[in-house]
Chains A and B, each alone.
Chain A
Amino acid sequence: MKGSLTIVGFFILGIIVSHYNLLPTSIIHADISFYALCGLMFFVGVSIGSDTSTLKNFRQLNVRFTLLPLMTILGTLAGCIVVSFFLSNRSISDCCAVGSGLGYYSLSSIIITEYRGAELGTIALLCNIMREIVALLCAPILVKYFGKLAPISVGGATTMDTTLPIITQSCGKDFVVISIFHGCLTDFSVPFLVTLFCSL
């Protein structure tokens, strides 16, 4: 929670700095964000490649539970397609691009900004931050009414880091491996899904 607040803080700091012209405009219009994004993706890759212990744990997983990441992605996209009919100025692919951030607001908003501009990027940022907050706050209620997979599914790409503690608490220790597996797979699929829907 503290980590996400810091990230939102940097976003708000950026708004304030540029709204009151505290920085020369040449910095704002330089292509720093593209190079920073390449750097980010490189280091995300390093962290995935160097983490072999998580991969070993996945072998003890019940095969049926491995369907959960797929259910999360399909469910989210189905919801976004339905809402896109009510948002007249957004296309289906716009809505799916925002939705397929799956709670990974930093990366999804950055990629969407590069492709579709800051407007949809901001929507993606807000939408996916809200998703993480809902996952953190509603996990116990979700378990009660929709079973122990629901909070993991709502957590999306955050279930291997920020929402893991609350999931462990409300679903029990047996669901830690499923949660990490789910987080790993959805985390990995976010950049691909978002770019896919942005290029449609």
Chain B
Amino acid sequence: MFIIAIILFMATGIFIGYTLRNKETGAVSHIITGFIWLLLFLLGLEVGGNEKLIKGLYTFGLEAFLLMIAGVTGSVLASWALWVYILKNNHKKEEKR
């Protein structure tokens, strides 16, 4: 139910945004920033009111750090592979010429 609501809201937004594409929509980015501030404030409220979370912040930070390193390493290796592949192909093209 939750995901359907979210996707419906986003799809409606895309449609309305497309109909407004030639109009000035500069305010939208400010509204988005406002919503993000509100939501992060609300997440903070939830964390601050939960003793278990406050006590565990150090452990969560460490887990977050490990996941970040993992994600960064994985994406670096994957993009490196693509980079090497593209460079090799460019070389072949130049040799043919």
Contacts and interface: CB of A to CB of B under 8 A. Distances in A.
A16 B45 CA distance: 8
A45 B12 contact: yes
B20 A50 contact: yes
Contacts, number: 297
A153 B73 CA distance: 10
A47 B38 contact: no
Nearest to A74: B78
B10 A42 contact: yes
Given A36-B42, A106-B36, A156-B75, A16 B82 contact: no
Q: Secondary structure at chain A's binding surface: helix, strand, loop or mixed?
A: helix
A37 interface: yes
A122 B53 contact: yes
A128 to B, nearest CB: 8
Contact of B66 (A46, A64, A86): A86
A45 B13 contact: yes
Interface string B69-95: 111111111111111111101000000
Interface size class of A (residues with CB under 8 A): 35 or more
Given A42-B12, A119-B53, A146-B80, A153 B64 contact: no
A41 B76 contact: no
Given A19-B49, A79-B74, A80-B67, A123 B39 contact: no
Contacts of B74: 74-80, 82
A76 to B, nearest CB: 4
A71 B47 contact: no
Given A19-B54, A123-B64, A130-B68, A50 B44 contact: no
11 contacts: A28-B49, A65-B86, A80-B70, A87-B66, A99-B70, A102-B71, A106-B40, A107-B36, A131-B71, A191-B6, A195-B3
Interface of B: 2-3, 5-7, 9-21, 23, 25, 28-29, 31-33, 35-50, 52-54, 56-57, 60-61, 63-87, 89
Interface of A: 3, 6-8, 10-19, 23, 25, 27-28, 32-34, 36-52, 62, 64-65, 67-68, 71-72, 74-80, 82-83, 86-87, 90, 95, 98-99, 102, 106-107, 109-111, 113-115, 118-119, 121-128, 130-131, 134, 142, 146-150, 152-154, 156, 191-192, 195, 199
- Top 8 closest pairs, chain A to chain B, by CB: A14-B44, A45-B13, A49-B17, A79-B74, A75-B78, A147-B83, A79-B70, A153-B79
